[in-house]
Structure 1
Amino acid sequence: MFILFLQPNAFTKNSMRALTLLLLCGVTFVASASISTPYEVLPTGHLSSVIVMQNGAVESSHNADQLLPPASTLKLVTALAAKLHWKDGYQFSTGLYKQGQDYSLRFAGDPSLTRRDLESLLSHLKQQTITGNLYLDGSVFDGYDRGVGWPWDVLGVCYAAPASALSLEGNCVQASLKTLANGGTSVFVPQYQPITVKSTVTAVTKEEKQHSYCDLNLSTAPNNSYVLSGCLVHRNKPLPLKFAVQSPSLYLKKTILAIFEQQGTKLKGKIKLQNMDDNAVLVAEHKSKPLDDMLQFMLHKSNNLYADNITKQLGADFYGEHGSFNSGTSAIREILKEEAKIDLGNSVLEDGSGLSRNNRVSPKIMMQIMQFIKAHNQQLHLIELMPTSGLDGTLKYRPSMQDVHIKGHIKGKSGSLFGSHNMVGYSYNDQGKISHTFVQYVSNYHPAPAEKGTEPAITRFEKAFYQSLIE
């Protein structure tokens, strides 16, 4: 395995213009014999597209104009817009303010804000008595906390946590479920988590589960209460659970009251949702890590809350208005058009994370994004923030990237949704230089049940494809 070094690119403005013209004109290219795209191994009914470029030329192209769900590859579009807009960097700021007898906590949607950070802010009120109220100001965002097209059946899990200005601990809470010998179950919730979880789950054998068609189900309520029902096969260890907070404001209120009790702070008034007065005075401030650190975490962990709150903040900052999914995705379009001369055209963007099933982007547009990042990486330093095949992030355990010849030779971003298996990135030769830029979108992937021990079709397809990019 080689050590990956990112090399400066010699891509000129003229070659970039030529590339854009070629992509926009819809020129058909015959796939090079050196690029392996064994579509025949994929199940009937799939809809797939692959584009490969080398040295500024299209080496392979198939279904380049097809609008497909980008899934989490959309996070690279969000990351590029953020880097282009905040050229000098950006940090989310959460502030404690005083206004007369009242105090305000002004939130900016920092997706990395932790309970410890909040404790540090509130420590400035330790052992004091607040004679007025404590206001929670999340006015930097408005509109929905969930994007259009987010499926209802995942709203209770953490990767669909609400994209709220009032964000704490990723708007994600933890619990665990233990199976009992008598066929029942018990739930454990850490004492510091201000939520309630009830279980009517039955512990069963594997055979009983198969015959009853019984699954583990989750129901949620706006007061941050959760009910587990259905069946769970007997386990030796408790099943770890992570739930998306349903009411970020209620979660914050209860957490703050617990911190006040811990720090000996007395509140005579109430905790209310209200915008801060213009004449409020800053008492203390917490800043997030720099933008590059945030983007690296977002890309490595494929964190949806980071992507969507960054998107909303882009909307707020670009337009000088409240941030929302609508203003944020509009800002992404405008930023890419102004700064990168990339027109997203008839692409459909409902969020910045790729979680919405309504998102659509053509591989041709995505290739323009990838080529721009490559050509300007000396200024952007964005490729360095992407995970590496078989080594880290979401690519560490990707089945098709465990081969010794593929591991460490690709940097990029994966994306998965129901029936979608996407990957965009750059392959590297043994000298650590980019050899190919590629976009792989596989949609409508619904294989028949495979025999035990048989390698999935998507893994076989990707192995052959990635290997051909490296050889």
Structure 2
Amino acid sequence: MRRAAPLLLAAALALAGCATRTGPDAGQAVQAALAAAGLPDESLGFVLQPLDGSRPALARRAGDAMAPASTMKLVTATVALERLGINHRGRTELLAASAPVGGVIDGPLILRGGADPDLDWPALWWLLRQLRESGVREVRGGLVIDRTLFHPARIDLGLPPFDEAPEFGYNVIPDALHLNGSLLDIELQSTPAGLTARSLPALPGLALDAGAMAVSPRACKDWDEDWRPALREPAGDGGLVLKLQGAFPAGCRQRAALQLVDRQWLAARMVRQLWAELGGTMAAGDAEAAAPAGAVVLAAHRGRPLAEVLRGVMKSSDNALSRLIYLQLGAQAAQPGEATLAASERVVRAWFAAHGLDDRGLVLDNGSGLSRRERISPAQLAALLRAGQAGAQAPELLAALPMAGLDGTLSRRLKDGPAAGRARLKTGTLRDAVGLAGFVPDAAGRPWVFVALLNHPEAARKGRPVLDALVNWVAAQR
């Protein structure tokens, strides 16, 4: 790869040098960049055109359905901004079957998830604090967690893992509660005395055992290279022992948020611990079930408006929250008994139809791009971007996109060329697919619709310089 770098740079300069020429010259320069990367011509598809349509589109494989990786998040974001609205908020509630009497809930406390993207540990504490300060001190019926906004309530159950690292945050499959992202922080430390591990916060009934981990010679920044999924063993009183596996660098200290325990177990333990710390009592017995009709809301927490949430989702390419938003599209429109994911797909295809866009070849899975199945053509993605820019929510979508060389997933890319600080693009990376899609101003300040998808077994290793060179070519156009 290091040997190819000068050739890639030369190809990028060739693209920039073609800035005042015609489309075929640009195509030849793109072909040179592909050749320098050792990638075949057919691996790349793109659509490039001024947003005002003042020049004919430059296109290759425009109509071919391709793996989009995280550029698929543009579909979810664009449709959600219009169908859910910029002020849409998720909501978490504490309920009881009937109003408390004398500080006592004579039945279970119900924690109902409403796709709240901001329900972290402090938000859960504040919910319980509200309940405690209202005078409630005793819960006589245990805890019920209601995840039924989505159908099925636990979409994650029974699904095979996307890859070999299901415990990392990008792999979380959300549900309607999505408490702390279903993640628990652990801290690992390697000292001359050995390896230690603890959870943050510490939870009663949870023990971490790092005794089987070896010491690695890797740099601390590469600590996760030798990580292996933990083994879970039951302990007394419903507790768990997590036996950590793999190796960890010598002299390193690292904190990571991981999906290590079942989310129902984690949520119930946290509720009970925080409630006890607030001076409340709760009877035994935890369950997952729907709140009864007529249940009384005792406290609530609201997430940020969708437009604010999307800024973080798009810039950091947050898979779990993208999936949560995609599921909200379905939850809002689902018919009785309809699976939420099926309803989400129906909403997206209806949006395409309403905007006169062809959805043939479009394959939807979870709305995040973290999928081996999802497909969209460069032409469809370009048409979606045009429709989004023509809508009332266009400023919100544009503000959510990473800026070349400045922030988000583009903070270390496109830093020195003509696109730096000007292009706004959603990135996408899987092992065999990379992409860039969004808007690139040319040298005269005219915004271009930009979509480039590259599918190849070595796309992640070799493909990004090709896409970046194409961005800089557009940015240099006059």
TM bucket by the smaller chain?
A: 0.7 to 0.9
Residues 123 and 355 (structure 1), Cα distance of their counterparts in 2 relative to 1, 3 Å cut: same
Structure 1 Cα separation of the partners of residues 144 and 376 of structure 2: 41
Give 1:406's aligned residue.
419
Residues 203 and 422 (structure 1), Cα distance of their counterparts in 2 relative to 1, 3 Å cut: same
Give 1:156's aligned residue.
167
Structure 1 Cα separation of the partners of residues 319 and 97 of structure 2: 35
Q: Which runs of 5+ in 1 are unaligned?
A: 1-29, 208-213, 449-455
Q: Which runs of 5+ in 2 are unaligned?
A: 1-21, 99-105, 220-224, 235-239
Give 2:186's aligned residue.
175
Give 1:128's aligned residue.
137
Structure 1 Cα separation of the partners of residues 299 and 459 of structure 2: 55
Structure 2 Cα separation of the partners of residues 173 and 331 of structure 1: 33
Q: 3-state DSSP class of the match of 2:25?
A: coil
Q: Report the alpha carbon displacement of residue 158 of structure 1 after superposing the two structures with TM.
A: 0.6
Q: 3-state DSSP class of the match of 2:188?
A: strand
Structure 2 Cα separation of the partners of residues 170 and 378 of structure 1: 27
Query: Does the CA contact (< 8 Å) of 1:67 and 1:362 recur in 2?
Result: yes
Supply the RMSD in Å over aligned alpha carbons: 2.8
Q: Report the alpha carbon displacement of residue 438 of structure 1 after superposing the two structures with TM.
A: 1.0
Code of the residue aligned with 1:331 in structure 2: it is V
Give 2:450's aligned residue.
438
Query: Does the CA contact (< 8 Å) of 2:326 and 2:367 recur in 1?
Result: yes
Residue 296 (1) aligns with residue 311 (2): yes
Structure 1 Cα separation of the partners of residues 404 and 266 of structure 2: 37
Structure 2 Cα separation of the partners of residues 205 and 150 of structure 1: 29
Residue 425 (1) aligns with residue 435 (2): no
Structure 2 Cα separation of the partners of residues 187 and 247 of structure 1: 19
1:215-294 matches, within 5 Å, as 215-219=226-230, 221=232, 226-234=242-250, 236-294=251-309
Query: Does the CA contact (< 8 Å) of 2:331 and 2:343 recur in 1?
Result: yes
Q: Report the alpha carbon displacement of residue 136 of structure 1 after superposing the two structures with TM.
A: 1.2
Residues 123 and 231 (structure 1), Cα distance of their counterparts in 2 relative to 1, 3 Å cut: closer
Code of the residue aligned with 1:402 in structure 2: it is K
Give 1:96's aligned residue.
94
Tell me the alpha carbon deviations over residues 150-195 of structure 1, each in whole angstroms, 9 at most, x when there is no partner.
524131111111211121112222223333437x532232234575
Q: Report the alpha carbon displacement of residue 131 of structure 1 after superposing the two structures with TM.
A: 2.3
Q: 3-state DSSP class of the match of 2:374?
A: coil
**Of the candidates 307, 320, 332, which is equivalent to residue 305 of structure 1?**
320
Q: Report the alpha carbon displacement of residue 218 of structure 1 after superposing the two structures with TM.
A: 1.9
Residues 146 and 308 (structure 1), Cα distance of their counterparts in 2 relative to 1, 3 Å cut: farther
Give 2:46's aligned residue.
50
Give 2:74's aligned residue.
76
Residues 110 and 206 (structure 1), Cα distance of their counterparts in 2 relative to 1, 3 Å cut: closer
Tell me the alpha carbon deviations over residues 439-458 of structure 1, each in whole angstroms, 9 at most, x when there is no partner.
1111115289xxxxxxx743
Give 2:102's aligned residue.
none
Give 2:469's aligned residue.
464
Q: 3-state DSSP class of the match of 1:135?
A: strand
Q: Report the alpha carbon displacement of residue 149 of structure 1 after superposing the two structures with TM.
A: 7.3
Query: Does the CA contact (< 8 Å) of 1:41 and 1:457 recur in 2?
Result: no
Structure 2 Cα separation of the partners of residues 418 and 47 of structure 1: 14
Counting matched residue pairs gives 423
| Overall identity of the aligned pairs, in % | 21
Give 2:6's aligned residue.
none
Code of the residue aligned with 1:229 in structure 2: it is Q
**Of the candidates 165, 180, 196, which is equivalent to residue 186 of structure 1?**
196
Residue 325 (1) aligns with residue 335 (2): no
Give 1:210's aligned residue.
none
Query: Does the CA contact (< 8 Å) of 2:140 and 2:282 recur in 1?
Result: yes
Structure 2 Cα separation of the partners of residues 344 and 146 of structure 1: 30
Q: Report the alpha carbon displacement of residue 33 of structure 1 after superposing the two structures with TM.
A: 2.6
Structure 2 Cα separation of the partners of residues 461 and 413 of structure 1: 16
Structure 2 Cα separation of the partners of residues 457 and 97 of structure 1: 53
Structure 2 Cα separation of the partners of residues 296 and 157 of structure 1: 22
Q: Report the alpha carbon displacement of residue 43 of structure 1 after superposing the two structures with TM.
A: 2.4
Give 2:404's aligned residue.
389
**Of the candidates 314, 317, 325, which is equivalent to residue 329 of structure 2?**
314
Q: Report the alpha carbon displacement of residue 148 of structure 1 after superposing the two structures with TM.
A: 6.4
Q: Report the alpha carbon displacement of residue 146 of structure 1 after superposing the two structures with TM.
A: 6.9
Query: Does the CA contact (< 8 Å) of 1:178 and 1:239 recur in 2?
Result: yes
Structure 2 Cα separation of the partners of residues 98 and 467 of structure 1: 58
Structure 2 Cα separation of the partners of residues 379 and 44 of structure 1: 35
**Of the candidates 186, 202, 214, which is equivalent to residue 214 of structure 2?**
202
